[in-house]
């Protein structure tokens, strides 16, 4: 089969490895006389383990495999000892849905919490650099494998995506380290090295470069693991995590009115959404159709994941919860209680105090990226900044998504800005 598009040959080899993983793995097993049994299943990423561990040689791949090996050579067979009561939670969202705010509920929990803020940022960045774009299938598998290892307190696969590669498992480049309280604890805080620039410093103490070995050791002592990510597109791709006996995984999907999301993105990512603004203000250039398709694609991905979760298939039963940002913003303590109850994690006084303090912040002290805001005022604020013509575009592109999540359509400019009309239906989503 001929490839109709051009990508670097090195990453093409990597994609072949990833795309063909399930078929090739059986060939590798036969070559090594390895047998798969129900007791010893080959986990996601097992192909990588076998190739590296046994130095398997494939003539078609050997020429460029060294580059792929750079990404995989630290992929260890780390095992976490299962412990009763230990919980794993993945907070799924998209950008500008309030996920950083909701993630703080868990980040503020206690000393018994391992919380990571957007570790998949490194994976997305590396895959984009390697190909000039992202491949959905390759990204989904990479995201899944990295998440699985992180929930097991193994940073080695994530480490292979950090650029530049950590030296002796030490890095100054972990994305938003200061947003994970766990990574700023004394047990993980290495001494400050004179002359070494630390891009992100912890808020609670001055720490030197992050030692990922120390982070792994500290993580193993925590009972609860929570990871926040805006990069996973389809819930179905994470099914293997529910089948891993070492994990007791729960998924919380955070959603928000797509019209509000777009309004927020137009402010936070002004340059990227410049064409939307110009068109809304009466610009001569028509709205880029590709941008509308991208918007529809995002809405469809969110909706399809939610539909899978709400159907509660056997592999997801009791493991999925859908939460609207608008409900959290209006009733933060109630929704926090529901999320922690669903997760099986005790809600501590520290979290309650943080919620009370950070949902009543005045406008003057909050910013675009702040997690400190008067949350009730954020719910429908977008209605007074988003032009009606853009709201109409979103409604056409994301109609099924709006209906599923209980967001009302607007039929006129007057209805859009009428404070007496709520655009949020009272809706209960089954857990």
pLDDT along the chain (431 residues), means of 10: 40 40 38 35 39 37 40 46 79 96 93 95 88 76 97 97 95 93 90 62 82 96 96 95 96 98 94 89 81 95 97 96 96 96 95 91 50 66 94 97 98 96 93 74
Tens digit of each residue's pLDDT (9 = 90 or more) over 253-269: 999 999 999 999 999 99
How many CB atoms are located within 10 Å of the residue 165 CB?
14
Q: Which strand (E) or helix (H) includes residue 115? A: strand 113-117
Tens digit of each residue's pLDDT (9 = 90 or more) over 143-157: 999 999 999 999 999
Say what the pLDDT of residue 292 is.
94
Residue 421 and residue 415 in contact, taking contact as beta carbons nearer than 8 Å: yes
Say what the pLDDT of residue 53 is.
38
Say what the pLDDT of residue 131 is.
54
Say what the pLDDT of residue 84 is.
66
Share of the chain above pLDDT 70, in %: 73
Show Cβ contacts of residue 377 under 8 Å, excluding neighbours closer than 6 positions: 363
Per DSSP, 315 falls in state G
Distance, C-alpha 247 to centroid of its chain: 18
Handedness of CA 12, 24, 232, 102 (dihedral sign): negative
Say what the pLDDT of residue 360 is.
76
Say what the pLDDT of residue 431 is.
74
Say what the pLDDT of residue 134 is.
61
Say what the pLDDT of residue 128 is.
85
Which CA distances in Å does 86 have to 79, 245, 430?
15, 12, 24
Say what the pLDDT of residue 192 is.
80
3-state secondary structure of 327: helix
Token pair for 46: 């097992």
b/e sequence 242-273, b meaning 16+ C-beta within 10 Å:
bebebbbbbbbbbbbbbbbbbbbbbeeeeeeb
How many CB atoms are located within 10 Å of the residue 59 CB?
6
Please state, in angstroms and rounded to a whole number, the distance separating the CA atoms of residues 401 and 257: 9
Please state, in angstroms and rounded to a whole number, the distance separating the CA atoms of residues 401 and 168: 46
């Amino acid at each position: 089969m001929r490839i109709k598009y051009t990508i670097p040959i090195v990453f093409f080899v990597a994609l072949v490895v990833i795309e063909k993983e399930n078929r090739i793995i059986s060939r590798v097993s036969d070559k090594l006389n390895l047998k798969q049994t129900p007791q010893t299943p080959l986990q996601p990423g097992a192909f990588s383990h076998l190739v590296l561990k046994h130095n398997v040689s494939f003539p078609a791949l050997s020429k460029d495999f060294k580059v792929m090996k750079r990404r995989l050579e630290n992929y260890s067979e780390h095992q976490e000892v299962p412990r009763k009561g230990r919980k794993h939670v993945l907070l799924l969202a998209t950008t500008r849905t309030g996920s950083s705010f909701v993630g703080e509920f868990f980040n503020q929990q206690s000393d018994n919490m391992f919380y990571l803020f957007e570790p998949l940022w490194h994976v997305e960045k590396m895959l984009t650099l390697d190909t000039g774009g992202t491949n959905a299938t390759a990204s989904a598998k990479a995201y899944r494998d990295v998440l699985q290892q992180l929930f097991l307190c193994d940073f080695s696969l994530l480490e292979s995506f950090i650029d530049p590669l950590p030296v002796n498992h030490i890095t100054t480049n972990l994305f938003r380290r200061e947003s994970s309280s766990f990574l700023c604890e004394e047990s993980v805080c290495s001494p400050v090295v004179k002359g070494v620039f630390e891009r992100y410093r912890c808020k609670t103490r001055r720490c030197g470069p992050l030692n990922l070995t120390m982070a792994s050791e500290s993580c193993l002592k925590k009972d609860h693991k929570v990871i926040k990510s805006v990069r996973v597109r389809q819930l179905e791709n994470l099914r293997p995590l529910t089948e891993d006996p070492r994990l007791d995984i729960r998924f919380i999907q955070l959603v928000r009115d797509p019209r509000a999301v777009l309004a927020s993105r137009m402010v936070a990512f002004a340059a990227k959404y410049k064409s939307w603004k110009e068109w809304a203000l009466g610009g001569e250039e028509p709205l880029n159709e590709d941008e509308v398709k991208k918007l529809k694609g995002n809405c469809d991905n969110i909706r399809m994941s939610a539909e899978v979760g709400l159907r509660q298939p056997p592999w997801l039963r009791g493991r999925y919860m859908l939460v609207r940002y608008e409900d959290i913003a209006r009733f933060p303590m109630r929704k926090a209680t529901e999320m922690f109850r669903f997760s099986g994690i005790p809600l501590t006084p520290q979290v309650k105090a943080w919620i009370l303090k950070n949902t009543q912040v005045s406008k003057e002290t909050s910013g675009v990226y702040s997690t400190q805001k008067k949350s009730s005022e954020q719910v429908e604020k977008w209605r007074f900044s988003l032009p009606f013509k853009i709201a109409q575009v979103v409604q056409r592109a994301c109609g099924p998504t709006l209906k599923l999540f209980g967001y009302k359509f607007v039929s006129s400019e007057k209805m859009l800005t009428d404070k007496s009309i709520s655009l949020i239906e009272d809706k209960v989503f089954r857990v």
